[in-house]
């Protein structure tokens, strides 16, 4: 691939980038123009008559009875009602607990960065443009946490919206994948007024040489100047060598690292001196992205390499296909425009016909109304008892009573025009997707019927939501690449948000010890080699409403008080509304203590502190007195038990002695002598 070498000059780079951009702009001009026209057609008043219809209806009524905005709002709302969640998973099936903890930490920081940078605005703008016109985009970049503190070099990743993506974002023609992961070049254009451009760059487009205007794309018009951010992927081949150290561990280094010096020795020589042995090597490719700032005349700035190995621009498409080697995209408006135009034309013609008076008007000769014009002109305004006319003089000189010579007739609507209105309505419903009154609340309709209607509506919008999910997956991959280079500070504390929207903290590169006693770094994002998975489902608010509804239904059939207690707490934990936060937290704590909800790390620490505090807390004097009395009673009971056992033992001893005496007496009687001892 072409890239700037040491011998390349900025002029050569500018010439190459201009030439490649002209190829892209020329090949995609028609598609991008249609996408822009589609968005104007749906959003701007009067735009539905742009083009040839503008001259045809120049001096005629031009009404717009558009059904497109309602259909678009349904898709927009459906997307906002579904939560597209990004999950980070370890690549290995037998991943260790540390790898899973790292994946959870990355996911938490990812959600916090999205929230703090208002990523929803960027994603919503891209989705809306993609649905209406077919093409939308946003990008990821970095910013300093504190711009005012020169010593603070910490950065955060943020999302930025790109408006008018169909006119401003271009990728090279060789990129065929929807997520643009195979792209080599990307241009992001920024239109500026002449005054803004001159103030920003201390340059005037009027001084640009004439060849600038000979390119296919005009970088300077009478009122606009374009400045482009250009991202170019550079691929460098390298060899990664693995060394076995004397302790049996393995370390990997690439060519550049082995050629670097550690003190007075090259790293390779130093490793050999330490007894390291080269065991294997692997040839790989490393991607870096270089950023340029250019206009139609020159390279304004070489911005160097951006963080991460990916072009940080995310594309969102409505409907997309590659035909004749050119990417083509369209949205929800493209195929309904002609039906909408027919409806507008028919309604405008009907309005024009209706504007003609529906009252039959008499027709007189000028001689009949001469002198009475005002009376007849105001006949529809003033209520008069009678009207007057001039007599008509016949050929014989006598007056003749003659009335109006005729009447005007009310115009009729042509049957073809009425049929056109019906056909255009049917076509629009077919293309836009007829809801069948699904947006109206109807009584006596089963839940199954409502769910069936909702499924039909979802089928019309799922393609757009699915394409947004693919774009968000690519955004997460770009984010991960940037995070590996930006979030490399040891001990840095970062905001984290869990799946349940609970806010926490993650400590980067935190020293820890594994279960087998090995020292390691937890939450080391520089080593985060994770898979990205996207799930599409109801929003968190919708999920909570569903939980409350299901738990409420179960509550009425719960058999025992313990289950009812759990369900009640679960309902309270998922209730939403102003002032419900304290109740939500109380219910969650109750469920955690009951063992129903898995506690977070912070909750585990709180429970441990509570247990320690309870064990160290001095007892109440009354409780101590009761405890002493109980101990005394127990001691007395033990003493009484011992005395009973002693008495029982004495009794048994005496019984045994008595038995012995009896036996000896019997022996004496039988033997006639003293018993033997």
Give pLDDT, residue 7: 41
DSSP 422-450: HHHHHHHHHHHT---STTS--SS--HHHH
Interval 170-195 mean pLDDT: 93
| Single pTM value for the model | 0.71
Give pLDDT, residue 633: 66
* Domain annotation covers residue 547: yes
pLDDT tops 80 at residue 169 = yes
* Domain annotation covers residue 592: yes
Q: How confident is the model at residue 168 (pLDDT cuts 50, 70, 90)?
A: very high
Q: Is the dihedral of CA 484, 485, 487, 488 positive or negative?
A: positive
Highest average pLDDT, of 241-245, 342-346, 511-515, comes from 241-245
pLDDT tops 80 at residue 613 = no
Beta strands in 245-298 (DSSP E): 250-254, 261-262, 265-266, 277-294
Average of per-residue pLDDT values in the chain = 80
Bridge partners, 535 (sequence order)? 85
Q: Which domain holds residue 606?
A: 539-616
Bridge partners, 612 (sequence order)? none
Contact criterion met (CB below 8 Å) for 539 and 551: no
pLDDT tops 70 at residue 307 = yes
Helix (H) or strand (E) holding 368: helix 366-369
* Domain annotation covers residue 200: no
pLDDT tops 70 at residue 325 = yes
Q: How many domains does the chain have?
A: 1
CA distance 649 to 643: 10
Q: Which of 549, 476, 464, 581 is nearest to 82 (CA)?
A: 464
* Domain annotation covers residue 266: no
Length of the chain: 677
pLDDT tops 70 at residue 1 = no
Q: How confident is the model at residue 654 (pLDDT cuts 50, 70, 90)?
A: low
* Domain annotation covers residue 586: yes
Strands 530-538 and 82-90: antiparallel
- Tens of pLDDT, residue by residue over 437-460, are 445 544 444 444 444 444 545 566
H helix runs in 59-118, sequence order? 68-80, 97-116
Say which residue the tokens 């990743």 belong to: 157
Q: Residue 34, class by beta-carbon neighbours within 10 Å (0-12 exposed, 13-18 middle, 19+ buried)?
A: buried
Distance of CA 201 to the CA centre of its chain: 35
Give pLDDT, residue 674: 44
Q: In the chain, pLDDT over 70 holds for what percent of residues?
A: 77
* Domain annotation covers residue 622: no
* Domain annotation covers residue 570: yes
Give pLDDT, residue 515: 65
pLDDT tops 70 at residue 74 = yes
Helix (H) or strand (E) holding 143: strand 135-144
Say which residue the tokens 């349940």 belong to: 500
Q: Which of 519, 517, 510, 342 is nearest to 422 (CA)?
A: 342
CA distance 74 to 77: 5
pLDDT tops 80 at residue 144 = yes
Q: Which of 5, 64, 673 is nearest to 337 (CA)?
A: 64
Q: Which of 50, 546, 137 is nearest to 315 (CA)?
A: 137
* Domain annotation covers residue 262: no
Give pLDDT, residue 6: 41
């Amino acid at each position: 691939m072409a890239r700037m070498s040491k011998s390349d000059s900025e002029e050569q780079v500018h010439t190459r980038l201009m030439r490649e951009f002209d190829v892209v702009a020329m090949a995609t001009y028609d598609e991008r123009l249609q996408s822009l026209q589609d968005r104007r057609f749906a959003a701007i008043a009067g735009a539905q008559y742009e083009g040839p219809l503008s001259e045809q209806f120049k001096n005629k009524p031009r009404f717009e009875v558009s059904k497109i905005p309602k259909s678009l709002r349904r898709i927009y709302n459906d997307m906002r009602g579904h939560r597209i969640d990004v999950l980070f998973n370890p690549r290995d099936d037998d991943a260790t607990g540390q790898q899973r903890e790292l994946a959870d930490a990355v996911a938490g920081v990812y959600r916090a960065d999205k929230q703090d940078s208002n990523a929803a605005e960027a994603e919503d703008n891209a989705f809306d443009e993609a649905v209406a016109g077919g093409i939308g985009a946003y990008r990821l970049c970095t910013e300093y946490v504190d711009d005012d503190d020169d010593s603070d070099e910490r950065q955060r990743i943020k999302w930025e919206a790109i408006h008018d993506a169909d006119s401003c974002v271009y990728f090279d023609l060789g990129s065929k994948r929807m997520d643009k992961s195979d792209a080599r070049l990307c241009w992001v254009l920024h239109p500026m007024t002449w005054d803004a451009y001159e103030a920003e760059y201390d340059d005037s487009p009027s001084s640009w040489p004439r060849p600038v205007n000979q390119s296919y794309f005009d970088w300077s018009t009478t009122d606009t100047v374009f400045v482009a951010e250009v991202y170019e992927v550079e691929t460098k081949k390298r060899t990664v060598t693995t060394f076995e150290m004397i302790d049996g561990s393995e370390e990997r280094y690439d060519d550049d690292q082995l050629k670097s010096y550690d003190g007075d020795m090259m790293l390779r020589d130093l490793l050999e001196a330490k007894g390291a042995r080269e065991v294997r090597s692997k040839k790989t490719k490393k991607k870096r992205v270089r950023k340029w700032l250019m206009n139609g005349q020159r390279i304004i700035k070489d911005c160097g390499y951006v963080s991460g190995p990916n072009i940080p621009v995310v594309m969102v498409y409505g409907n997309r296909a590659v035909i004749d080697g050119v990417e083509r995209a369209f949205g929800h408006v493209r195929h309904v425009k002609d039906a909408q135009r027919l409806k507008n034309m028919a309604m405008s013609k009907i309005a024009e016909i209706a504007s003609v008076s529906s009252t039959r008007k008499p027709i007189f000769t000028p001689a009949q109304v001469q002198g009475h014009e005002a009376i007849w002109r105001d006949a529809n305004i003033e209520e008069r008892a009678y009207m007057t006319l001039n007599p008509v003089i016949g050929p014989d000189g006598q007056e003749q009573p003659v009335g109006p010579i005729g009447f005007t007739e009310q115009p009729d609507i042509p049957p073809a025009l009425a049929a056109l209105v019906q056909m255009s309505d049917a076509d629009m419903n077919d293309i836009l997707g007829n809801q069948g009154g699904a947006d109206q609340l109807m009584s006596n309709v089963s839940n199954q019927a409502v769910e069936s209607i909702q499924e039909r509506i979802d089928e019309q919008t799922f393609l757009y939501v699915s394409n947004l999910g693919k774009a968000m997956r690519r955004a997460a991959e770009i984010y991960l690449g940037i995070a590996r280079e930006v979030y490399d500070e040891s001990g840095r504390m970062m905001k984290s948000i869990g799946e349940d929207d609970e806010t926490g903290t993650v400590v980067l590169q935190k020293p820890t010890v594994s279960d087998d006693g090995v020292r390691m770094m937890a939450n080391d994002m520089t080593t985060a080699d994770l898979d990205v998975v996207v799930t599409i489902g109801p929003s968190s608010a919708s999920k909570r409403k569903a939980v409350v509804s299901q738990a409420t239904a179960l509550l009425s059939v719960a058999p025992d008080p313990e289950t009812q207690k759990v369900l009640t707490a679960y309902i309270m934990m998922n209730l939403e509304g102003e002032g419900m936060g304290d109740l939500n937290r109380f219910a969650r704590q109750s469920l955690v203590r009951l063992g129903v909800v898995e506690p977070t790390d912070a909750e585990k620490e709180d429970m441990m502190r509570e247990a320690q505090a309870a064990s160290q807390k001095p007892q109440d004097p009354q409780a101590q007195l009761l405890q002493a009395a109980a101990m005394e009673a127990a001691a007395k009971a033990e003493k009484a038990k011992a005395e009973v056992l002693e008495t029982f033992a004495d009794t048994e001893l005496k019984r045994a002695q008595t038995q012995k005496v009896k036996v000896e007496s019997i022996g004496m009687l039988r033997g006639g002598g003293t018993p033997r001892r």
